[in-house]
Amino acid sequence: MDDARASPKVQLIMNACSASKAADVVLAVGAKPCMGCTTYEEAALTASLCDVTVLNFGTPTTAEIANAVLSAQNVVVDPVGCGLETRGRTVKEWLERRGAVARDASDVRPMRTVVKGNRSEIEALIELFAVNGSVGANLSVTPESSDGDCAEKDVFDALNQLSEKLGAMIVMTGSVDYVTTPRSTRVDGAPGNEAVHEFDAPILQKFSGAGCCLGAFLAATVPGSGLENARALRASCLVYRRIATDVVRLGNFSGPASFQVAFFDALASLKSYE
């Protein structure tokens, strides 16, 4: 939603069920999807040529491919399946290494990391990183989200701790979307915590890849510097939800499959939402 970064190139390292959908989202909003990620060398080279990398840990992403983009300047991480022991370990090790690389590079160039996950995925990360708190979700190895009873203050407390440990922005999706900035990187006066209550669209939970597509949408619509700005990320989450609820309101679909077609068509009219 910022014309300063025209037609950004977005590297997509995606799971099989959402790769084409994420590419369609990137194309719909006027950005350029790049799918080079079949080998370590290809993934590293593609990352160096792109503005943002979307790293989705759903199968078939391997630790080798993930490690190829450790030094990418801007990364949106989707920790799909991190409730599984082996994949959770891979995700944890990558996030720890990414944090170390970003700290070492901080005097040379900013390296921005956004971790976008549903409530159960973020709960799994909270457990993996021994955070003293909870976001009120049941752990799940599936892409499904689960909203639980947890006061917003407690949710943000847990997210703030996790964000600080990772040195990364957190975007947690669900009936409410939550965005948190690490305290160590907050600019004076800038909000560190943001919540999106508006435009809840339960239909987005009815087809696979809706959350993964949001990661691609954030990468394609938020300028690189905005990936460390809670308000900029909130704005894109809000637009994504608003477009979905507008499609529901218009009612020009008959089920989850036809909703996807109408939703992607509406994404192509993104300018009308700015």
Secondary structure string (H, E, C) spanning 226-251 = HHHCHHHHHHHHHHHHHHHHHHHHHC
Q: What is the pLDDT of residue 260?
A: 94
Question: How far from 55 is each of 70, 157, 219, 256, 272, CA to CA, in Å?
Answer: 10, 26, 11, 25, 29
- Amino acid, single-letter form, for residue 254: S
Q: Which domains does the chain have, with CATH numbers?
A: 9-241 (3.40.1190.20)
Give every CB contact of residue 253 below 8 A, 6+ residues apart in sequence.
247, 259, 261, 262
pLDDT at site 3: 43
> What residues form DSSP beta bridges with 76?
54, 114
pLDDT in tens, the chain (274 residues): 444 456 899 999 999 889 999 999 999 999 999 998 999 999 999 999 999 999 999 888 999 999 999 999 999 999 999 999 999 999 999 999 999 999 999 888 889 999 999 999 999 999 999 999 999 887 665 555 555 668 999 999 999 999 999 999 999 999 999 999 988 776 666 668 999 999 999 999 888 899 999 999 999 999 998 999 999 999 999 999 999 999 999 998 999 999 999 999 999 987 655 5
pLDDT attached to residue 269? 87
Dihedral, CA of residue 6, residue 7, residue 13 and residue 15, to nearest 10: 120
Residue 107 confidence (pLDDT):
83
Pull the structure tokens for residue 111: 């390296």
Q: Is the pTM of this model over 0.85?
A: yes
- Cα(15)–Cα(18) distance, rounded to whole angstroms? 6
